[in-house]
Structure 1
Amino acid sequence: MNTPYVSRKQWLESREQEKGSLLFYSVLGFVLLFLFIAPFHQGLFLMFSYEAKPGNNIFYNFPLYSSYIFIYIALFLTSLFLMTSFKATGKRDMLLLAVWLIPLAYLIPVLTRPASVYLALQGLYVELMYASFFVISWMLARNKKGAALVQHGILYSGYALVIYGLLVWYGNIQAHGVIIADSNGMRLTSSFTYANSYAAYLIAIILGALYMIASSSKWAAAAGNALILAPALLSLILTLSRGGLVLLPVVLLALLPFIRLSGQIVMILNLGIAAVTAFILSGPSTRIGAELFHTSNAALSAQAWLQLAAGSVVVALLSAVIHKYVPPAVGKLEEKFKLRYARLWFPLVILLVGGIGIAVVLNSQWVLNLLPENLQQRIASINFQQHSVQERGYFYKDAMQIVNEAPLFGKGGGTWAALYQSHQSYGYASNQAHNFLFQTLTDIGWAGALLLFAFIGCIVYFYVRHVIKHHETEDGRRHFVYFIVLVAILAHSFMDFDLSYGYLSALVFIGLGGLLAGAALPGTKEQELPITSGKAKWIYPGFVLLLSLCMLVVSIRLLKANTEAGKAYNELSQESVQLEKFIGFIDNAMALHSTNADYALLKIRILNDVYNQTKDQQYLQEAQQLAARYMDNEPNAHGIHEYRYQWAVQDNAQQALAIASESIPKYPWDMMWYERVMVLSYEMGYAAGEGKKPAERDAYYQKAVGIYQHVQEKRESLKSIPSSISVPPFEITKPMFLVLGRISYDQGKYAEAADILRPALSDNLDSSVQRYIARWYVAALQKQGKTDQAWVDKLVAKDPNEAEELKKLAGA
């Protein structure tokens, strides 16, 4: 049944009535608290890994699980609010239903065969949180005050984070990981503890501040927002993020056509003034930060803050002058010369002039000399041949191999972390694919990825169409900060793992919800057709209510489990560990969160340690049973494979060989597994030979030789990796040389045995393996009627018993 046409006045009045709702303001309060609290907790980084130290995962998951509870309370209140005023208008609001298909895409692999049940469920939980943010943001952004406060909350929390990062940089606050030192020098990461993702966040904040300056009706508001420009741009410089420095102007140029000409000019002028100030300050700030990183100096810190404050005030004053004089002047020019489409061609002029300016700067050594040396080097290395670009190329190639194993629906959240080692082109270590698209493809396949990007694309299309129609009106500009944040973070996420930060992903979905609400402003009769009427209007709010209650219960259990696991982990740090208390805590955690592999690995580790100390079989059996139970859900857990191998090698060589052999394709760049297969194959082959089973012996020996040949093929493949990439060592180990030498010796190929063992000789004979290599090398020469007296003397000098061993081998 079609409802009567709703006039613009009636539509706006209904929106304004929502302001008075206690529920509305309660939800708004929850969202604002989240915006100001969450980024200071490592940006809610998603630790999609259970191979790191268990304490890391417990530490990172606590704020994440706390956020779940926070958000589902807000979603519950949102559902109550929707029951009283749910007005989904127009076909575009069907996206309120479509958003729940994204978590469904993450649920499908959980129900089939995920790479890791634990990580797949983690992915599902965070996607449910993002979908909740979308609905909440849509509800809040449907009225003027809600949209304004959320957008201001995003920006002001960003301003606070910028100041926090600089407080650490200038030595006023001590915080671990906020500043990192690597081969590029010192880098500012703020609470994200990763410079590139902080740079992506800064781009959103800088562009948002510029837009607030350009759209402010009062000079004081413009000057207030301008105060943060120099600190934010300085912070971007201090991240040393090449991608951030390149992407900032690119995103700005992409956004300018949606803004009035006067606003474009105001933004460009403010950015230029703030950028010059930030670059001038970058040299002193880098030197001061480097000194304060190692020592405390209040006077030096005060000097840095005075310089920054002076620069910021200059920028703010000039911004106020620009705000007063530039827009009226531009308006007169537009009217005089009828510059109707100037907002479209002016960005092209900026692109041309800016490109020439950048080229001149990069080729002017005197300009570059004004910058810190490490920044000069980073700018000079901006090209497609740099190692980080080439490394990402291999990540993407390897990701597609994973995608091809489950192309339609993927293998669930955390698939890259679980499987990348089995598909990698060389032995890099990265639990992130460094690209939102490829990581999404590994998680939910082509079907899920197309759904997600179609969802994003539809909202952007509806909003852009709306802005084009209403760009001159307040309605057209009301939600633009959402658009800025969305574009900035998404654009950078295709170069790095920004969306592995729960906070940044939440901002994306908050932005999408805000844009959907912004695109629903009245304009045509079709837009005003409600899609809910009668009893049907209760279905969606009821669904949201039920989901919020269910997930609130789940989230409370997750947080309680994490708290119990934290107690167990803390118990291990005590001088005298009380095993009963530890077991009690970790069992509580596992009962509350049964799929958490972190907790299982922690308990297995302790049970194994206790067994090694007491030799009580009860502990070993419990550890083995727990490992067997988790193997079905976590077939790629390196830790569980390692324990299974260690248990088997003690009394079941055949099983140990099977475990080591099945681990090679899972971890093809871990030489340890190749060594284990070769050593076990030799030992079992030698035993078969002693038992007069020559065929069995030769089969084992051939397996060991085949493993060596496989390693050589992989070593050969590394030659195709560009020299600019630092490839981790993949060298034949001493035990592997010993195995090959002894196989040749046992087969009577003495010259070949000596040739194999000779390169592995070492003057350091402290280890038994090195003595064996030298012993069998000398024995192989003796079998040929030769000798190497120098090595005979070295062996006997190290251990007089070696003389007798050599006599036995010579007479054998």
Structure 2
Amino acid sequence: MSKPVYGKNAVQSRNVEKISSYIWALVIGFIVFLVWTPFQVGLFNGQQIDFEKPIYMSSLLSSLLLLLWIGLYFTKFRLEGQRDALAVTSLLLPATYALSLIGAASHYMAMNLLFVQSMYVAIFIIALYLLQQKQLNVVIQNAILAIAYFIVGFGLLNWLGSWKFAGGLVGWFSNTVRGDKYLDAVMTDSNGLRLTSIFQYANTYAAFLMAFLFVAVYALVRSKKWYGMLTHSFMLVPIIVSLLLTLSRGGLVMLPVVFILLLLFLKPAQQILWIIHLAISGLAALLVTNPLTTLGTELNTAYTSSAALKAWAYLIGASAVVAVLGWLIQRYIAPWLYGKLGSSESRKFTGMWIPLGSVVAVAIVAFLLIGTGLKSVLPDNIETRLENINFKQHSVLERFTFYKDAMKVVKDYPILGSGGGGWASLYEEYQNNPYISRQVHNFFLQYLIEVGIVGFIVFMGFIGYIFYKYIRAYLKRDKDEFNNGFFFYIIALSILVHSLLDFNMSYAFMGILVFIGLAGMGAVMDNKPFRQSWNKTGIRMGYMAVLTIGTVFLLFLSISYIGSSNAALKGKNLVSVSTSYEEIKTPLVKALDARPYHPEAALYLSTLDMQVFKQTQDEQYLAEASNVLTRALKDEPYNKNLLAQLASYYDLKGQPDMALAVYSDNAYKFNWDITWYESLINRAQTLAAAANEQKDEAKKQEYLAAGLDAYKHVLDGIEHLKTLPPEQLQGRPFSVTPTMALNAGRLQLLAGDDEAAAAALKMGFNDQYSDVINSASLWDTNWYSLLITRTYDLAQQAYTQKNDADKTLHLEIGQIAYRQIYTDLHAKNIPPAITLNAGKIQVMSAQEQPPALQTAISTLKSGLSEDYSDPTNREIARWYLAALAKSGSDQDQVVYGKLIAADPAEADRVNEIVSTSFKNLQ
């Protein structure tokens, strides 16, 4: 291959440069990678075994491609100009992510993001050199356009009910197809159905559509062939319709912003052509969006061929009309415009008037659509979204909150950052209110959090330099030799601008598109040559050696992680189907050998060991669970599931004080997780009551302080939430729950504050318990009996109404109340009515928690007396015998005999309980 040519003759030289078969092999591999990636690697901030392997596979494939590039360019690479320096400095991007591992909040997620960043750089380096050759540049552009158009069509297939066909197209290589259906290609939220295509998130799909809407217009205006004109103009309507169907407010807001920014780079004739094509296709799309919205909603509920054919007729008909009009405009109007405006293009500021006019036009259209009745021409769901575009809208207020909270993280992790996935790990510690958002909704802030000021400066310097050099050269152009670069400029600019409002770059495919866009700009930017001293063999070979060693290391690391991921997934799948300890354990141990910090694998293995310990009481299993959890938490200190598992380990170990310490010491990490504080207060109350019984005043005060401090934190949080703007959503529920009220009230009682104890009950219970909590005598045996009876009655009512959430809540209240009275009475002299209802509650709880059935058997047995003439005692015996029968245990013949002797009809009553109250027990 000949030496690359730079300078003013570069384009001409690249036109005639012979391309070897090896280069074509690299190009084909590059394009295959682009086809494979969008259907494999989605959002990569989670901690899920099911979705991690595509990251490592992508890293492996990109490493192989980069090794092929190294093989082709090892002896040809020259550090001759600023373009070559980009390839060198790009290595700093993954280097900053590697540095952030030092203080990473989650080593697991930080490593995943290191793989992703390395993949981006590999793609950037390869694209930077491939795109310098015009023939390859055109091939890659066409490939990207074809992929984009396929994604648009794929989304519309799902919207119009052909999800099975769409799933079949990609199911043979995509891991996101379940039951022949691509997951969430059409999502549902409070706004109704929203189109997401491959992204499973409507706002990111809107960013993608915005970028390729402008790319399609650019390709149409640039095209010289009739079939190119027809193809690109045909796709304008599907793209705009898809954009509207995302219901993305951010997309609608950023669309005119990016449009005006792009107009500034076009000549007046091109500006007019862009406006004409977008106006025609936009009008056609608006005309068919209403019926397509209605038909799409129907087809996603129940598919009918007539509705589908009608929908496709609307879409294809409108697209065909726009395609013909687009061809006519380019064939006849475009040459006339170029002829009329050609002389004015050389004048200064001639390209500014239309963009300035567009600002006014956009403002007028926005006013008409938002402030007048014109928006009624749109579908109801789109009209509603437009009405909600304002600075007091909840999603805007929430984003401002995210950004403020993000800066709190930056303040604590300023230099090297908190590692990849830092926000997802840390946001619960810093959040202002209990929202759920594992993304900052601003790519640049999230990047700053992850790599700190050092990494952020490197990244902004890198992309800023590329944009500066490209724009500077573009504005100086005297010919259209930068057309290819503008294609990539549109992609990079559109996605990055939209990423100011959302987390598009948390999707690997979007990140790949941006880095290809940067490479495309870099390939044609003004390339100032370096001094000859920069091009010494040692420097050149040193760079290629570093790149080779790093790529080979990443390649083998990817292979290791793929093996670990396969093993972890195998272990996860075996948990639900196998009863063999060794069979399940083997793959989990293998997974943890490579990555001892893997959260899910550590959780599964520790759970397995703890289950076996319960069965065998062999301490070695408990010791292994401890080792696994301790090692994982060393690198994953913010993982809530692992911390809760550690507390369970201490429970099994007989160290409830250590379990409380886990909750208390880590409470600051989960400031707005009401379930965490609920568990903390429950544990503190149990230990405080035990210490009180043992007359251990020091321990009692210690546990009282832990529980009451946590309760105060909850009360303070509730008061803080009252200060939120009325338009801003609170997020997750955060209030004094009934079970928390019971435990907090008991803590107040132990602290000697009866008034605060009563106030706690009133904070936590609703009107269904009003007579109970307003009773003249609180906390005595009769009060507990009334409370437990009420919880059982309400749980039965919720069960009949199939309200599982309410049923679970009432059962929890009943069980905590029983534990408290059980402690008060020292397990003696508990009234039979309390025992009976507590046993029934435990039976109902066994529907979700099977071990509760054995607890119910013990509770009911403890309440039996010898007086079988007593109706309550006979009912206890009935439930006790029914529970034994359901559990498969041997029948208690003594109790059965006494019950039948008292009343022979009791045998049928026992069977009736088994067939009714126990029918849902597994």
Give your verdict on TM over 0.5. Answer: yes
Equivalent residues in 2 for 1:678-757, closer than 5 Å: 678-727=681-730, 728-746=732-750, 749-750=753-754, 753-757=757-761
Work out whether residues 71 and 129 of structure 1, in 8 Å CA contact, stay in contact via their aligned partners in 2: yes
Following the alignment from structure 1 to structure 2, what is the Cα–Cα distance between the partners of residues 626 and 23?
48
Shift, 1:793, TM fit: 12
Shift, 1:742, TM fit: 3.1
Equivalent residues in 2 for 1:501-650, closer than 5 Å: 501-520=507-526, 526=529, 531-574=534-577, 576-650=578-652
Q: Could you say what the CA RMSD is over the residues aligned between the two structures, in angstroms?
A: 3.3
**Which of these residues, 416, 427, 441, is aligned with residue 434 of structure 1?**
441
Following the alignment from structure 1 to structure 2, what is the Cα–Cα distance between the partners of residues 792 and 455?
66
| Corresponding position of 1:458 | 465
SS of equivalent residue, structure 1 residue 190: coil
Work out whether residues 410 and 442 of structure 1, in 8 Å CA contact, stay in contact via their aligned partners in 2: yes
Q: More displaced, 584-593 or 227-236? A: 584-593
Runs (5+) with no aligned partner, structure 2: 165-180, 794-813, 831-922
| Corresponding position of 1:118 | 108
SS of equivalent residue, structure 1 residue 191: coil
Q: After superposition, give the CA deviation of every residue in 1:202-243 in whole Å (9 maximum; x if it has no partner).
A: 111111011011111233322221111100111001000011
SS of equivalent residue, structure 1 residue 187: strand
Q: After superposition, give the CA deviation of every residue in 1:722-744 in whole Å (9 maximum; x if it has no partner).
A: 22233222111334333443344
Q: After superposition, give the CA deviation of every residue in 1:585-631 in whole Å (9 maximum; x if it has no partner).
A: 22222234444323222322333344445544433222121001111
Counterpart code for 1:145: Q
Following the alignment from structure 1 to structure 2, what is the Cα–Cα distance between the partners of residues 721 and 99?
43
SS of equivalent residue, structure 1 residue 303: helix
Following the alignment from structure 1 to structure 2, what is the Cα–Cα distance between the partners of residues 202 and 14?
34
Following the alignment from structure 1 to structure 2, what is the Cα–Cα distance between the partners of residues 338 and 749?
84
Equivalent residues in 2 for 1:105-504, closer than 5 Å: 105-110=96-101, 112-174=102-164, 175=181, 176-335=183-342, 340=347, 341-365=349-373, 367-470=374-477, 472-504=478-510
Q: More displaced, 221-230 or 60-69? A: 60-69
Query: CA distance change for structure 1 residues 383 and 211 in 2, over 3 Å: closer, same or farther?
Result: same
Q: More displaced, 739-748 or 202-211? A: 739-748
Following the alignment from structure 2 to structure 1, what is the Cα–Cα distance between the partners of residues 791 and 545?
84
Following the alignment from structure 2 to structure 1, what is the Cα–Cα distance between the partners of residues 7 and 679?
75
Shift, 1:527, TM fit: 7.1
Q: More displaced, 20-29 or 686-695? A: 686-695
SS of equivalent residue, structure 1 residue 284: helix
Shift, 1:445, TM fit: 0.8
Work out whether residues 369 and 386 of structure 2, in 8 Å CA contact, stay in contact via their aligned partners in 1: no
Work out whether residues 56 and 115 of structure 2, in 8 Å CA contact, stay in contact via their aligned partners in 1: no
- Over the matched positions of the two proteins, sequence identity in percent amounts to 31
Work out whether residues 443 and 505 of structure 2, in 8 Å CA contact, stay in contact via their aligned partners in 1: yes
Work out whether residues 89 and 520 of structure 1, in 8 Å CA contact, stay in contact via their aligned partners in 2: no
Following the alignment from structure 1 to structure 2, what is the Cα–Cα distance between the partners of residues 606 and 30?
43
Query: CA distance change for structure 1 residues 409 and 790 in 2, over 3 Å: closer, same or farther?
Result: closer
Shift, 1:46, TM fit: 3.9
Q: More displaced, 244-253 or 680-689? A: 680-689
Work out whether residues 5 and 529 of structure 1, in 8 Å CA contact, stay in contact via their aligned partners in 2: no
Work out whether residues 435 and 496 of structure 1, in 8 Å CA contact, stay in contact via their aligned partners in 2: yes
| Corresponding position of 2:37 | 38
Q: After superposition, give the CA deviation of every residue in 1:687-726 in whole Å (9 maximum; x if it has no partner).
A: 4433444455344334433332222111111111122233
Shift, 1:35, TM fit: 1.9
Work out whether residues 80 and 541 of structure 1, in 8 Å CA contact, stay in contact via their aligned partners in 2: no
Runs (5+) with no aligned partner, structure 1: 51-56
Q: After superposition, give the CA deviation of every residue in 1:309-330 in whole Å (9 maximum; x if it has no partner).
A: 1111111111111102222222
Shift, 1:519, TM fit: 0.5
| Corresponding position of 2:59 | 68
Query: CA distance change for structure 1 residues 123 and 222 in 2, over 3 Å: closer, same or farther?
Result: same
Query: CA distance change for structure 1 residues 206 and 701 in 2, over 3 Å: closer, same or farther?
Result: same
Following the alignment from structure 1 to structure 2, what is the Cα–Cα distance between the partners of residues 747 and 557?
56
SS of equivalent residue, structure 1 residue 306: helix
Work out whether residues 663 and 673 of structure 1, in 8 Å CA contact, stay in contact via their aligned partners in 2: no
Shift, 1:417, TM fit: 0.9
Q: More displaced, 492-501 or 697-706? A: 697-706
Q: More displaced, 442-451 or 591-600? A: 591-600
Query: CA distance change for structure 1 residues 215 and 306 in 2, over 3 Å: closer, same or farther?
Result: same
Work out whether residues 597 and 634 of structure 2, in 8 Å CA contact, stay in contact via their aligned partners in 1: no
Shift, 1:570, TM fit: 2.5
| Corresponding position of 1:54 | none
Equivalent residues in 2 for 1:7-26, closer than 5 Å: 15=14, 19-26=18-25
Shift, 1:291, TM fit: 0.8
Work out whether residues 220 and 228 of structure 2, in 8 Å CA contact, stay in contact via their aligned partners in 1: yes
Q: Does residue 99 of the first structure (1) align with residue 90 of the second (2)?
A: yes
Work out whether residues 251 and 488 of structure 1, in 8 Å CA contact, stay in contact via their aligned partners in 2: yes
Following the alignment from structure 1 to structure 2, what is the Cα–Cα distance between the partners of residues 352 and 762?
55
Q: Does residue 47 of the first structure (1) align with residue 13 of the second (2)?
A: no
Q: After superposition, give the CA deviation of every residue in 1:249-288 in whole Å (9 maximum; x if it has no partner).
A: 2111101121222221111111111111111111111111
SS of equivalent residue, structure 1 residue 186: strand
Q: More displaced, 81-90 or 498-507? A: 81-90
Counterpart code for 2:121: A
Counterpart code for 2:289: S
Q: After superposition, give the CA deviation of every residue in 1:289-312 in whole Å (9 maximum; x if it has no partner).
A: 111111121221122112111111
Following the alignment from structure 1 to structure 2, what is the Cα–Cα distance between the partners of residues 658 and 724?
38
Counterpart code for 2:56: Y
Query: Aligned pairs, how many?
Result: 782
Query: CA distance change for structure 1 residues 183 and 10 in 2, over 3 Å: closer, same or farther?
Result: closer
Following the alignment from structure 1 to structure 2, what is the Cα–Cα distance between the partners of residues 308 and 295?
20
Q: More displaced, 223-232 or 687-696? A: 687-696
Following the alignment from structure 1 to structure 2, what is the Cα–Cα distance between the partners of residues 620 and 791?
40
SS of equivalent residue, structure 2 residue 187: strand
Shift, 1:136, TM fit: 0.6
Following the alignment from structure 2 to structure 1, what is the Cα–Cα distance between the partners of residues 643 and 586?
25
Q: More displaced, 750-759 or 367-376? A: 750-759
SS of equivalent residue, structure 2 residue 264: helix
